[in-house]
Amino acid sequence: MGATRKWFALLAALTWLSGCSMREPGAATVPPRVADRASASTAADVPVCSIVLGGSLCTSVPRFAGSQVVDGVGDEFCEVPATVLSTRSGVPFPQTAQPTVDDALTVRVAWDDSGLHAHFHVDDPVLVRDFRLDSSWAGPDYVELDIGGTFPLTGFYDGETNDAGFMNVYFNPESTLTPIKGFTGPVPAQATAGFAFLQGTNYGIERAPLPDIARWAYRTVAGGYEFELYLPWALLGRQTAPAPGTTIALDLGLGTNDDPAYWSWWPTTDQVVPAGLAGQVFLAIQPLPAGATTSCRPLTTDRANPWCDDRTWCQPTLE
């Protein structure tokens, strides 16, 4: 199933129409608000250009040379090399096995004097939105973008006191799977920012919708879903744009559950994840500095998690 789907994805990529036109590098512009939070659309699921592979978000973030319309369609990113994070080759959470479920995130991130521009395509055949109370911010299907406009990394992520300018952004796709009897409509997609903070001997988590100066859009596409994002530098703790060559902090996460009977356990039985149908991976979980203790209390050092300790992230430079 997974291999077949990947083959079709490759075939589709090879046969995509080349709808991109070369663009003159222009001054940075803030994406228009009109397309903000665009609703899901399968009708618009028409590939617009071939995806160029070979990106490496752990080492570099290319310059963005277009004008972004935040509508979920990635036609502004035709010339941005894509980084692929798959569940079978990404970095699993420490002390857990490599997932066998076969889903993949293809992401294109670029920057200009205005901010970060990104497009996320996920091959995911079964979309599950878990919207129960505080579980609603990350999963079971999600894309995580950890991004910081400053360097060096500081450890515990709280987005304010310790490391202003760092941000964990979470995207959840829509889902037609729901535990509500008689309700068959889609549960809408969402984008949130998560903030972890020290709280006694443990940590707490707050999450909130992305601030209005950011832009995001979602669409369901054949075999998965897509998000598009714009984050201004101001939201990443910078008053002015960084210079080329600047090092920032960045990480990616991908989570998935492909069980079409996901909600069958609700509400009377324990949740059981069938083997081979779920997993989560990251682009990086870097070793902590020698002698460092993780601030992801009460987790131990070898279980530091990218969403609470930014020292585990990549440190790419802006090209």
Q: In the complex, which residues of this chain contact Ca ion (CB under 5 A)?
A: 69, 71, 73, 124, 126, 141, 228, 256, 258
Strand partners, 286: none
Question: Token pair for residue 58?
Answer: 């752990």
d(CA 82, CA 105): 10
Q: Which residue has the tokens 């222009």?
A: 26
State which residue, 77 or 233, has the beta carbon closest to Ca ion: 77
- Which residues share a beta bridge with 167? 147
Q: How far is the CB of 218 from Ca ion (least distance, A)?
A: 12
Both tokens of 59, joined, read: 């080492």
Rounded CA-CA distance 231/210 in Å is: 9
Give whichever of 94 and 223 is closer to Ca ion, judged by the CB atom: 223
Query: Smallest distance from the beta carbon of 164 to Ca ion, in angstroms?
Result: 29
Least distance between Ca ion and beta carbon 228 (Å): 5
DSSP, res 35: G
Residue 13: what residue type?
A
Residue 144: strand pairing partners: 170, 253
Residue 180 DSSP SS3: coil
Nearest CB to Ca ion, comparing residues 157 and 230: 230
Query: Is the Cβ of residue 69 or residue 104 nearer to Ca ion in the bound state?
Result: 69
Question: What's the rounded Cα separation, in Å, for the pair 75 and 203?
Answer: 40
Give the tokens for residue 71.
Answer: 């509508």
Indicate the residue among 42 and 201 with the shorter CB distance to Ca ion.
42
CA distance 235 to 216: 14
CA distances from 273 to 24, 137, 261 (A): 49, 19, 10
The smaller minimum CB distance to Ca ion, of residues 40 and 196, is found at 40
**Taking the complex as a whole, how short is the minimal distance between the CB of residue 99 and Ca ion, in angstroms?**
12
Spatial contact of 81 and 108, defined as CB atoms under 8 Å apart: yes
| Minimum CB–partner distance for residue 103 and Ca ion (Å) | 6
Which of 198, 273 has the CB closer to Ca ion? 273
